[in-house]
Structures are given as structure tokens and as C-alpha cells.
Structure 1
Amino acid sequence: MTTILHDRPADAGQYALWAEAEIDPSISGGGYFVATFHGAVDEDDLKAAARAVLHRHEPLRSVLRLVDGQLRQCVLSARDACSFPRAELACEQGTEKAAVRAWTAQHLQRRHWDLSTEAPIRFHLLTHGDDRCSVVFAAHHAGFDGRSKFLVARDFSAYLGDLRAGRPVQPSPLAAPTTPVAPGDVAEEARAFWRRTVETATPMALPEGGRLGDRTITSSPTIELDPSAVATLRETARTLKVSTFTMLLAASIRQLAVYGNNTALLALASDVSDEHTGHVAGLQINVVPVAVETTRQASIEQSVAAARQALSHLARFRRVPFVDLVAGVPGRPLARLGTELGLSFPRPPAGLDLEIPGLRTDWDFFTPNTSATLARTLQIRANWPDCRVRLDYRQDLMGAQEAEQLLTDFRTAVSDLAANRTTSSVTPAVADRPDTATDGIPYTRGGVRAGTLRDEDPPNPPRLVPAQGVAFTAHGPSGQPLPRSIAGALRVRLPDGREEPTGDCGYVAADGGVRLLGPEHGRWICTRSLIDTSAVTRIARTHPWVREAEVRLEKARTQTAVLVVTGRGPNAPTVREFRAYLRKWLHGSDLPGRIQIRDSEMDSKEG
């Protein structure tokens, strides 16, 4: 029988994550970390250490339930909250990390987490044989953040060491802390900034190439930054009296400028705990949107100044709850941030002691994240002098090659900043490799055939293959040529040497061709969210009943995007059916506010 000790209202962050989990379980969740033990260890001791951690940290044994219409945080006993299943995972010595990551990908991702009955942390015991085992700490972001993993690892190690030594384990429970919140005037200032930013922000140019419809989050392989470049940045940081993260943020801002983003909207993760709350595991990481401005030719001092300004913004607004920030802006502001880029740079607390006498323990904290809170998050981890980076990304926005490119370009940006280069070493992309196939639709520019258009995998963008002697490039707002997979205004260079704009928006893909995304100036429209009109119309046209589709911006008191569809006959789908078809491929915030279905044989239907 579950014992509810007491209950209190859930905070705004927990409510938002609980709602996300209920609405779309496929994208809810969090992450995990792992301890691998080499040596004999008693399974009962592992379970007892886990229960002791839960007893000490009240938020980790809490569930969220609706009571009289209000979401309540209900606290369970440690025994009732502890989930500790056991599984065999045989593997060779030294391959435990890879084996555990493969196991988690199969068993932890896409699993619905019922936050009304399950505490936000689960323990999984995986036995490898030969006195080797791993404990997987799987955590949900409704009650657990990246800061908390180190606290849990520290306490788990201490309790396990005591149990192995025969010492009594009697942890004192720590109640859920009251997270510090910004004063009202600071919160209103933050909301005013966010409203202005949403009204003026344009979509950020980042590597594209994902497959529509697959909204799951995956992680790229981890890469190492150049050690000499990182050492130089650390030395420069000391000279300029800034943090190393300030230098890495400056490099990221430079990289975004190379992509054509002179003004970019970033989301920075920030720890909001203080001396009274920092020792309690729970939910104390906030997301703060910041706007940065820079140019491709910025000096190292200018780049660092832009990063410092962004971090001063972070410091001022870090305790304004992100859910309150979003709630204070009309429309769907989260749709703006959800398509952008986040940066995470957590650091273990000073003096972290994870030693367990008699056991060699390997902790793996830098593990893939399964949360889709942000569409792309650049995860930066430093264990000086090493510095590693990984990208967590939504697969409908980019694929593995594009994620690898973003990381490679970041590595280059770090090296360029360390070398004080004002010109980026990232190479602009040129599509000039024709193939011998003759099928497809002729693509004509300047009176000659410039390429062949192939729509091989709708609803994804059609592919344009250059003709012999023809080259395509994509260009940013200021006319600069862009790297591979970065969308911009397309230009074509014909065999006679002429170069002219095509009027299309697209990017040079990894296969050497071009992906066409729509008209140069009509791809995106802004209502209460950003709508990719090309993606919506492409998907609408794949429906068997649809003959033509167009997204229009209705000029009224509030701007509303309307998808106008012309059909092939009288057997039209209902609006509900058609919206469900679109949602199969698109996130809900990408859909126009209204759908009109028009056909000569039927009256107009709206929904």
C-alpha cells in the first residue's frame, strides 16, 4: 500500500513537464547516468543505498496527482518509491559503457513515465558477470535536473560505502526546498523583453536535413575540442577576466554568424539554487532565452563582449521561471524557442567525492538526453584540460550528418577564436556534382537547363541535381555564401559564367545536390507562432485527395494563417481527419490556425 506522507501544490515547472508527459509521452522524459562497479558488491546493499538516497531527497520520492482539480505533489515513502529491477547484460571487460548505452536506447527511450504513480527516478541493476555490474539512474525532468545527478551520485556512494563497512545508514530527510524566484519587477522586465523578442525574431539558420514526422530526440557522438585551442581560450579568459564558458559561448555566437545569424535567439540553462537549496536534489535548473548580436568579422573582444552581455542577461533573469515567462506572452512563444538552439554547460560541484572503498567505480554522467524541451541542445562538458561536446537534437529538424556538421563547425569556431581569426575557416558549400540519370523535372534558369528536380521522398524537400557545368550556392541575408546544410537564397552559376539568383530558398545537401524549401521570401510567415509554409503545403499535397494547397496570411485584427486546399473530387476528408493527417508529420505549433477545404463539388469547410 502506498503511503502518502503529505502533499503540497506542484510548482509551475513540474506542472508544465507533467502536462507535456500526459499530452505527448513520446517526447517526455529526461535522461540517465550510470555507475559501473568492478568488484564484488551485494545487491541488497545497492538497493538499500538507493532507498537511503530517496529517503534523504524528498523530491525524488514524490509523484504528481490531480486532487480536486489541482495538481499536487504527493510524497511517498522511500520503500514505496524505490523501483530497482534487475537484468542480465553480459559483456566483455572494458565494454560496459557501450553495452549499457545500447541497453538504455532499447529499454528507456520512448517509454511512458506515469508521473502519477512513479517517482522521478528509477534504478536499474545490470549484471555483466565476473563481479561487474552497473546501476542505471534513470530520471524524469519533472523532478530531477542535471545538477541533481552529482548530489545523488555523492550520497549513493557514501551510503554504499557505509553499508559495505557495516556502519548504520540513517539519512536525515531533506524537505523539498523553496526555489528562489525573481522579484516581480524583474519578472515583468523579462516578460517585456520576451514579448519584444518574439515579435521581431526570425527563424535561426541551422543545419537542416531531418525527416519530417520523426520528433524523437537523439544524440550525436561526442567529439573532443582541440586541446591546444581550449588551453588558449582558458588563458585568454583569465586575461580578459571572464569564464571559460564565456569564451565557448563567444565561439558559438561566431559560428551562428557564419550561418547567417547576425541576431540569434539562444536558450541558456542556469542553476537557480542557492546556499539554502543547492544541497537538495530536485528541479532547480531554469531555461533563459537570450538574444545575441554579432557579425562574421567580429574581433575576439567584440565576440567576448556579445557573450558577456548574454550572460549578464542570464544572471538578471535566471530566476524568472521559464513557464511564467511563456505564460506572460500571448500566442505560442514556446514554438519560437522550441525551434532554436540551447546551450548547457553544467559543472560538478567542487570537492565531489565518489570513492567507495574496495570498489573501482566508473561514473558516466555525459549520457544521451531524451527530453525534447528544446529542439537542439549543445551539451558542453569540461574535465580540464579535456573539453567534450555533444548535440541532442530532434530528428525531424536534422539528421546525423547535419548534427556532425554543427559540432565540427563549433570545433572550428573554437579554434578560430583561439587563433584570433576574424575570417571563419568553415568552407562555403557548392553543389556542382551532376549525375548521369535523366529522369526528373527540368529545372530551367537563364534560358538553359540548370538541373533536374526529383521529388523522391515526399513530404521531404525535393532534390535538385545540377546539370553539367552548373553550380548552386546558398547565400545569407548579407549575401555571404553559406556552409553545407544551411538554408538561404539560392544562386546559380551557368556554364557561360553568368550568376543569377533563382528566387528559391534551399541548401546544399551532403549528397552534393540541393534541397529546395520554397520561395526565397515566402517560406516563413509569422502569426502567433512561426509557420514553415513550404513544409505545410508539401505535406498537404501528399494527401491522396489534395490537388493543390497554399498557406495564406489572413489580414484581420490578428493575423491568422489559413491553409487553403483544393481537392480532386467529392470525397473530401473532414477537417478533423485532415488535421490528424498533417499532425502525423508536423508539430502542432507548425499548423496554421485554420484549415479551409475547397472543391468545386462541395461547400467550404473550416475548422
Structure 2
Amino acid sequence: MTGSWPASPAQQGMWLTERAGVAGRAFHMPLAVWLDGPLDVEALREACAEVARRHPVLGGVLAEDGGELRVLARAVPPMRDGGDLPEVLAGPVDPVEGPAALFTLIREDAKRHVLLFQAHHAVFDGESKDILLRDLAARYGGAAPAPLGAVYPEVAVRQRARLADALPAAQGYWAARWQEQRELCLPGLSGVSVAAAPGSALDFVVEDLAGLAERLEVTRFEAVLAAFVALLHAYGNARPAVGVDLSTRTELSRDHVGAFVNELPVIGAPEAGTFGEFARSLRVELRRLYRHREVPLARAVDGIGPRAALTPVSLSYRRRPETSPLFPGLGASVEWMMFNGWVRNTLHLQIVDDQAGTAARLQYNPALLDRAGAERIRQDLAALLAAVAADPEAPLDRLPLPGPVPAASVTAGGGPGAVEDGPVPADLVREIQAIFAKELELDDVEADDDLFDLGGHSLTITQIMARARERFGVELSFEVFIDDATATRVAAEVARLREQAC
């Protein structure tokens, strides 16, 4: 499939983060399938090609076109052969230059292979893993998956229309709730960040999450989130903000591979009472949040610049289907939680829940949180979950909650977009102010107002870049907006580029 369609809000946010240089490899999503038995390599190669054609977003790259960020459909490269797993994992996937997705077959011996799929999060999400492998196994076995209810561009256009309709209500919801948190209390913590960095991980198992959730009359996600928030509160965080990944899939998009997810913060703290009371009150607040799940926070509030994660602490929960992919004539085992070696913030709790049990992983930034601190968090969370599983209605003050720990502040970090200071023509600054005001739909913008504080986001930047191209004949670098997104700074860069062109 060829063509293009508007980028989704999630894709716009990831494009912004990639261009800002704060994403690293944090948005790279690997998925490995070990195949045991007499593999038909050519049949698998053709199955990969058919799945890529069925899901054209896998070949998509993000590009600015006339002030709009769009997805341009390209072909996914054919399945590659060879290499070893660590070497192949180090290969890049790129949603701007492409390719955004890759299939690689690694031969371990005559009857054992590893199919490694890598995709950027801009074209892939957690639920896409099951969809991809389901379609791939069907194609390998000679069966055609059921037709999709709509082509991907139609899904993308409808998603954008829903966002426009939902934006006013989301702005009202977040106006009284969102406040940037600059400090964080965790054991072993020396700094706080929402930029991607090489990470470490600790794995563990959550016992009887299903039983706990049933006794509390909440979902499994709500049960583990309540425990995580209660633990963060016990460490000394007055009202912890935990970024959670929420699915934005609808009936139309449920069988599509893509990035149908939005990260939003859950903000709250347990009051006096029982753990069960807190979990059920959190459930009520989540039901309010879900009404606004499609609207990115950066669209609903001002002041959120490029970042790899919304909050320093986050949680993702995915409940997998009861079935696993069946490749005819082969044994198949899947590593659903394959770690890419990076973390998007300071601390992330990942949960994958299926018929085999509940697997959990703490991913953390070892430059800011030492291993002993991460081990303590894992032990404290496991102890708390075990205690509430034994007595879900236990009073909070009788649970094995730790005491407060010292706070650490947000770690400052520079960006790549600075330009040299110097005199800037006042009339040029005023022209850039007018462009800012028009694209932000404001009556007036001051010369030193920050674009992000005024509600700007990735789409605003692409529109300003297009206006500057039309008006001044210059190609602004995206990076100029990162360190200092003001009309004064942008005007200085326009002046520099015009002088350079003379």
C-alpha cells in the first residue's frame, strides 16, 4: 500500500521527542519468537511480507508536509537472515528516516530459529504484538486472516476527528488536576529525569493478582496500580503522579497493528482507611480519566515540552489473550517482555498478565537510582502485594509499608538546539511573534513567551516551520525549538540562516 495519512497524536509526540534528541532507544520495541522444528524459511519470509502489506503503518515514516505531520507509507524491508541476537538487537529502527520495522531470522541450528521483530513505538504498541504474531502464524500456515473492517488511513482520520471533539472536555478535566512534580522520593535516588537513558531491570512474579482483584472488586490493573501508588506515597510522595499507558483502540482499530496508546498521569494518594477502600476510590477516579483517554496531556495543558515520558515514574499493564500463536509443525515460544536496554524515565513498572501468570519488571535508570534502591522497591512492592492478597481490607496503617526517604530533584539537562546570541532585528521578532500567535490562535504573544508554555506541541512546530519557509525562504531546524522555544530565539535563527544564504 502506498500513500500517506495524518499522523496520530501519539505519533506526533514521539516525533517531537525523537527530534529533540531525548528518546535514545527507549521507543524501540523488540519481540522474539523461538521456533523449534523443521522451519520452512521461504514460507516464513512470504508470511512476513504479507503481514507487512496487511499493516502498512509498519512501513510508515513521519514527515512534515506543509505544516502537517504525516505518515508516508513505504515498504517494510524483506526478512533479513543471519547475525546473532545481541548484534541484531543493536540495529536501529527509525520512524523518520526509516525503516520503522524489521524482521530478522536468526539460525541457531538446523531445527531451532529465532524470528526477531523490531519496531519503533510510533508504529507499534503492546497489543500489536499479539495481532502481529496471530496474523503471521496464520499466513505461515497458509490461512488468510479475516479482512480488516477499515483501511489504516481511515482509522487514523477518524481518530483525529475524535480527538478534536474530545479536546475541550479534557482541558477542563486537567485544569484542576495537573501540576508538574519536580521532586521524587525513592530509596537510593540521586536525581529525577523524564529523558531516556540506558536502563537496568529487575524481574519478579506477582502471585494471585486475579484473586486479589476479584476480592477487591476492581480490575487487575487497578489492583496493582493501587499498590504501586500506596508504596510511592509511603516513601514520602504526597500525591504521586504515575504515568500509565492507556489503549485508545476502538472497534474499528482493534485488529490493526499501530500505536493506539496514550500515556496519561494518575494522580492521587491513599487517605486513612483500608487498602480496599483506596483501590475502589482509585477505580472511580480512573473511570473519570478514561473519558479523556484519547487526548494527549500536552494538548490539554500548557508547558509540556519534549520528553520521553510524562512523569518520572510510570506503569504499563497488559493482559494478554488466553491463546498463543500456533505455527503449524513448529513449537513456538515468545518473549513478550523483551527488554531493549533503555528506560524512558526514572522508574517504570511493567506488568504482563496471561494464563501462565503475572510477570513483572522494574526498569530503572541506574545513573539516578542505584541497584540497592531498586531491589528495595521490588521487595517492598512484593511484600505489600502479598499482604493485601492475604487481607484486601486491611487498614493501611497495618500493612508493611516503608517509611519516608529523602527527596531528589529533577535533573537538569541541556538540548541540542541552542543558537548564538546576538542582535536580532525587532521587526523580525515581531513577525515571528505574529506567526506564533496565529498558529496558537492567540491574540498576542510576547517575544520571550515559551511556545510550550502557551500550549504549543509538535504540530504547532511543523506549522511554524512551514510558515517560516513560505515567508522567509529558510528551512528552520527542528532543534532550534528545543532549548528556547521563544519568538526571540526563532527570529535569531531565521536571521542567521538568511545571512548565511547571502
More helix by share: 2
Kindly name which structure, 1 or 2, has the bigger radius of gyration based on alpha carbons: 1
Instruction: State whether residues 159 and 169 of structure 1, in contact with CA within 8 Å, keep that contact through their aligned partners in structure 2.
Output: yes
- The structural deviation recorded for 1:56 is 0.6
- The structural deviation recorded for 1:39 is 0.5
- The structural deviation recorded for 1:126 is 1.0
* Runs of 5+ consecutive residues of structure 1 not aligned to the other structure: 90-99, 429-480, 489-516, 518-523, 525-530, 537-556, 560-587, 591-607
Q: Take 1:125 and 1:336, find their aligned partners in 2: how far apart are those partners?
A: 30
Q: Which TM-score applies when normalising by structure 2?
A: 0.72
- The structural deviation recorded for 1:120 is 2.4
In structure 2, the partner of 1:565 is none
* Runs of 5+ consecutive residues of structure 2 not aligned to the other structure: 415-447, 451-481, 485-502
- 2:135 is the alignment partner of 1:155: yes
In structure 2, the partner of 1:204 is 184
Q: Relative contact order (alpha carbons < 8 A, sep ≥ 6): 1 or 2 greater?
A: 2
CA distances 1:458-517 after superposition (whole Å, capped 9, x unpaired)? xxxxxxxxxxxxxxxxxxxxxxx43xxx325xxxxxxxxxxxxxxxxxxxxxxxxxxxx6
Pairwise CA RMSD: 3.5
More strand by share: 1
Name which of 276, 280, 292 aligns with 1:317: 292
> Match for 1:285: what amino acid?
V
Name the SS of the counterpart of 1:26 in structure 2.
coil
Q: Take 2:374 and 2:291, find their aligned partners in 1: how far apart are those partners?
A: 32
In structure 2, the partner of 1:252 is 228
* Number of residues of Structure 1 aligned to a counterpart in Structure 2: 411
CA distances 1:45-100 after superposition (whole Å, capped 9, x unpaired)? 22111101001112112222334454331112xxx4224222244xxxxxxxxxx4
Name which of 76, 82, 87 aligns with 1:81: 76
Name which of 42, 47, 52 aligns with 2:50: 52
Closer, same or farther: CA 260–212 of 1 in aligned 2, 3 Å: closer
In structure 1, the partner of 2:389 is 418
Name which of 241, 250, 268 aligns with 1:274: 250
- The structural deviation recorded for 1:300 is 2.6
Name which of 331, 340, 345 aligns with 2:317: 345
In structure 2, the partner of 1:233 is 212
- The structural deviation recorded for 1:330 is 2.8
% same residue: 22
Q: Take 1:558 and 1:168, find their aligned partners in 2: how far apart are those partners?
A: 55
> Match for 2:28: what amino acid?
G
Q: Take 1:51 and 1:196, find their aligned partners in 2: how far apart are those partners?
A: 49
- 2:20 is the alignment partner of 1:11: no
Name the SS of the counterpart of 2:360 in structure 1.
strand
In structure 2, the partner of 1:359 is 330
Closer, same or farther: CA 301–145 of 1 in aligned 2, 3 Å: same
Instruction: State whether residues 217 and 392 of structure 1, in contact with CA within 8 Å, keep that contact through their aligned partners in structure 2.
Output: no
Name the SS of the counterpart of 1:142 in structure 2.
helix
In structure 2, the partner of 1:329 is 301
> After the TM superposition, which residues 73-472 of structure 1 pair with which residues of structure 2 at under 5 Å, given as runs?
73-76=71-74, 80-89=75-84, 100=85, 103=86, 107-109=88-90, 112-162=92-142, 174-176=151-153, 177-178=155-156, 180=159, 182=162, 186-199=166-179, 201=181, 203-209=183-189, 215-227=196-208, 230=209, 232-237=211-216, 240=217, 242-295=218-271, 297-320=272-295, 322=296, 325-332=297-304, 338-349=310-321, 352=323, 354-369=325-340, 372-384=343-355, 386-420=357-391, 421=394, 422-423=396-397, 426=400
Instruction: State whether residues 265 and 337 of structure 1, in contact with CA within 8 Å, keep that contact through their aligned partners in structure 2.
Output: no
Name which of 14, 18, 22 aligns with 2:19: 22
CA distances 1:134-171 after superposition (whole Å, capped 9, x unpaired)? 10111101111111111001000111111xxxx78998
- The structural deviation recorded for 1:236 is 0.4
In structure 1, the partner of 2:421 is none
Instruction: State whether residues 52 and 170 of structure 1, in contact with CA within 8 Å, keep that contact through their aligned partners in structure 2.
Output: no
In structure 2, the partner of 1:542 is none
Q: Take 2:215 and 2:178, find their aligned partners in 1: how far apart are those partners?
A: 34
Q: Take 1:385 and 1:16, find their aligned partners in 2: how far apart are those partners?
A: 34
Q: Take 1:283 and 1:337, find their aligned partners in 2: how far apart are those partners?
A: 15
Q: Which TM-score applies when normalising by structure 1?
A: 0.60
Instruction: State whether residues 31 and 370 of structure 1, in contact with CA within 8 Å, keep that contact through their aligned partners in structure 2.
Output: no
